[in-house]
């Protein structure tokens, strides 16, 4: 990590006030180990928010990026407070193009805001160039930030998702909708738009490079102005929620001349965005050609330093975070050891923080048996917290076993067991004395494959006759 990170006025602007107002969690957001959480995923259903918060805390994360695609599914009352009570800061995070937002959550007329691709992509994106979409999104952001005491805010994936678009046959490109073409011509003074399909056209992008270059610049300007308006514009975050920290966001890939190539293909220009917005942090998301690699080394983010250095050139000392994907595919799932090494290597390289996609996709959920991490007692009930969800059927086998005091050997009989995701509630015949170490007969406990977002039937089971212990609070 850099010896000193100086959040200078030129880098932060009004955001410096936000950092001061959010002092309790600012350091964890800007310099901690974070994880992304999407509460709409199967892993989090039919369990208490308390259990989810306990599981995240037990994993040692400093901050959570709460992924919000639908307010009704992802904004659970009280969840942010539960995380705060466990010392965890919380980012509110939305997708810049509302790609995963259900259509029923979109306003009337949203169809006019759609991005059009030369080759259909299978996803619906809304245009960051559309004034109507920007105004609607401002209101949505304000609703989200009003719903809970969020510490920070960011927008995921503000780009035109056409990786290697110009190298494909046929060429892939976006946005080519009539509305986007019109806005490009109004902004640049051109009376035409580049052609990407017909090499015989005099405005084919290779034949008229000046016209095409203006489009490249315009797309980067769209993203920068989009962020700037949402954050600093009338009715933006800093006007309505000045206490909230802001992170801008872009994508990085380990490739030669990546800065120039990604600006051309997808509109990424982190330096331009940062210079305009003056955020509290910038985050570099790992692009898919990197994260899908099974052999990806934990220090791979060193290859992203050119992207960070472009940011530091316009905002010296600005915290720059790296986002990794640790489990979207079974073939590239990363171990807990890898994740910790990634965080350490990223800090050593000069980045300020890390985050991971997604908590329920981590290696432990797919490859390890449940492990007891905490216990507390209330009368004749014991509440056990595990590092992941427990299979309900396997927990029934604990009935009739005894919980044993580690020192005295005295025990209490388990009469009933109920499962709350990663928490077991034991009904005992005797109360457990708090402040003492108790051994729990957890042999045979299994994880819960039914909760996995990426299907995999493997069951991970605690060996028979295994005891796990914890100091009972």
Q: Positive or negative, the Cα torsion across 175, 274, 297, 42? A: negative
Query: What does the pLDDT average to over 70-81?
Result: 96
For position 426, what pLDDT does the model report? Answer: 98
Task: Provide the CA 247 distance to its chain's centre, in angstroms.
Answer: 12
pLDDT at residue number 215: 98
Q: What is the mean pLDDT of residues 147-155?
A: 97
Predicted pLDDT at 44: 98
Reply yes or no on whether the pLDDT at 182 is more than 90: yes
Pick the CATH number of 9-365 from 3.20.20.80, 3.90.1150.10, 3.40.50.300, 1.10.3720.10: 3.20.20.80
**Please, which residues have CB within 8 angstroms of residue 404's CB and are 6 or more apart in sequence?**
410, 411, 438, 439, 441, 467
Residue with tokens 């080519």: 176
Mean pLDDT, residues 395-422 taken together: 96
pLDDT value at 51 more than 80 = yes
Cβ neighbors of 428 (< 8 A, separation 6 or more) are: 380, 381, 382, 403, 412, 413, 414, 415
* Average pLDDT of the segment spanning 222-236: 98
| Same-fold call for 9-365 versus 369-471 | no
Binned at pLDDT 50, 70 and 90, residue 276 comes out as: very high
Given a cut of 90, whether residue 358 has pLDDT beyond it is: yes
Quote the DSSP letter at residue 432.
P
pLDDT at 47 over 60: yes
Residue 21 has pLDDT above 60, yes or no: no
169 pLDDT tier (thresholds 50, 70, 90): confident
Fold of 369-471: Immunoglobulin-like (2.60.40)
Q: In a 3-state reduction of DSSP, which class is residue 258?
A: helix
Asked if residue 458 has pLDDT above 60, the reply is yes
pTM greater than the 0.85 cutoff: yes
Q: What is the pLDDT of residues 426-438, one digit of tens each?
A: 999 999 999 999 9
Give the pLDDT confidence score for residue 121 in this predicted structure.
86
Give yes or no for residue 20 having a pLDDT over 90.
no
Give the per-residue pLDDT at 22. Answer: 54
Average pLDDT of the chain, as a whole number: 94
**Positive or negative: CA dihedral 450, 453, 458, 461:** negative
Residue 197: pLDDT over 80: yes
* Surface-to-core class of residue 137, CB atoms within 10 Å of its CB (0-12 exposed, 13-18 middle, 19+ buried): buried
Distance CA 266, CA 312 (A): 21
Nearest CA to 91 out of 139, 155, 157 is that of: 155
Mean pLDDT, rounded, for 254-276: 97
Domain boundaries, the chain: 9-365, 369-471
How far apart, in whole angstroms, are the C-alpha atoms of residue 439 and residue 401?
A: 11
Tell me what percent of the residues of the chain surpass a pLDDT of 90.
Answer: 92
CA distance 239 to 324: 31
Mean pLDDT calculated for residue range 157-181: 94
pLDDT of residue 402: 97
Contacts of 116 (CB under 8 A, 6+ apart): 174, 175, 176, 177, 180
Q: Which positions ≥6 away from 423 have C-beta within 8 Å?
A: 47, 48, 50, 51, 54, 383, 384, 385, 386
Convert the pLDDT of each residue in 293-317 to its tens digit.
999 999 999 999 999 999 999 999 9
- Supply the pLDDT for residue 10: 34
Two tokens at 420?
A: 């709350």
């Amino acid at each position: 990590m850099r010896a000193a990170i100086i959040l200078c006025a030129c880098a932060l602007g009004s955001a410096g006030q936000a950092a001061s107002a959010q002092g309790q969690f600012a350091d964890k957001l800007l310099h901690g180990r974070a994880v992304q959480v999407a509460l709409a995923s199967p892993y989090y259903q039919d369990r208490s928010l308390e259990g989810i918060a306990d599981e995240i805390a037990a994993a040692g994360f400093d901050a959570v990026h709460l992924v919000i695609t639908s307010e009704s599914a992802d904004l659970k009352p009280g969840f942010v407070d539960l995380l705060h009570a466990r010392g965890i800061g919380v980012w509110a995070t939305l997708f810049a193009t509302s790609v995963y937002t259900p259509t029923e959550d979109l306003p009337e007329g949203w169809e006019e805001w759609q991005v059009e691709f030369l080759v259909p992509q299978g996803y619906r994106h809304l245009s960051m160039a559309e004034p109507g979409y920007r105004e609607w999104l401002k209101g949505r952001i304000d609703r989200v930030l009003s719903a809970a005491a969020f510490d920070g805010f960011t927008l995921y994936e503000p780009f035109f998702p056409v990786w290697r678009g110009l190298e494909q046959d046929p060429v892939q490109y976006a946005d080519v909708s009539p509305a986007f073409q019109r806005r490009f011509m109004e902004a640049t003074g051109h009376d035409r738009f580049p052609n990407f399909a017909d090499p015989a056209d005099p405005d084919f992008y290779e034949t008229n490079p000046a016209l095409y270059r203006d489009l490249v610049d315009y797309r980067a300007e769209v993203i920068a102005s989009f962020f700037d308006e949402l954050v600093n514009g009338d009715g933006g975050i800093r006007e309505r929620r000045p206490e909230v920290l802001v992170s801008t966001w872009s994508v990085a890939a380990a490739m030669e001349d990546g800065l120039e190539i990604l600006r051309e293909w997808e509109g990424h220009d982190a330096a331009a965005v940062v210079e305009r917005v003056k955020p509290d942090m910038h985050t570099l998301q790992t692009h898919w050609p990197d994260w899908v690699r099974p052999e990806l080394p934990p220090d791979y983010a060193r290859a992203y330093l050119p992207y960070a250095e472009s940011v530091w050139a316009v905002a010296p000392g600005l915290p720059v975070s790296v986002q990794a994907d640790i489990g979207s595919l079974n073939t590239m799932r990363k171990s807990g050891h890898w994740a910790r090494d990634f965080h350490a290597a990223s800090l050593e390289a000069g980045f300020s923080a890390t985050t991971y996609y997604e908590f329920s996709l981590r290696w432990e959920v797919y490859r390890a048996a449940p492990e007891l991490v905490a216990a507390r007692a209330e009368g004749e009930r014991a509440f056990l917290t595990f590092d992941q969800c427990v299979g309900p059927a396997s927990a029934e086998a604990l009935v009739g076993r005894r919980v044993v005091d580690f020192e005295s050997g005295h025990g209490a009989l388990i009469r009933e067991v109920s499962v709350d995701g990663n928490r077991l509630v034991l009904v005992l015949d005797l109360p457990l004395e708090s402040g003492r170490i108790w051994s729990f007969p957890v042999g045979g406990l299994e994880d819960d494959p039914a909760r996995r977002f990426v299907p995999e039937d493997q069951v991970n089971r605690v060996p028979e006759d295994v005891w796990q212990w914890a100091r009972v609070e």
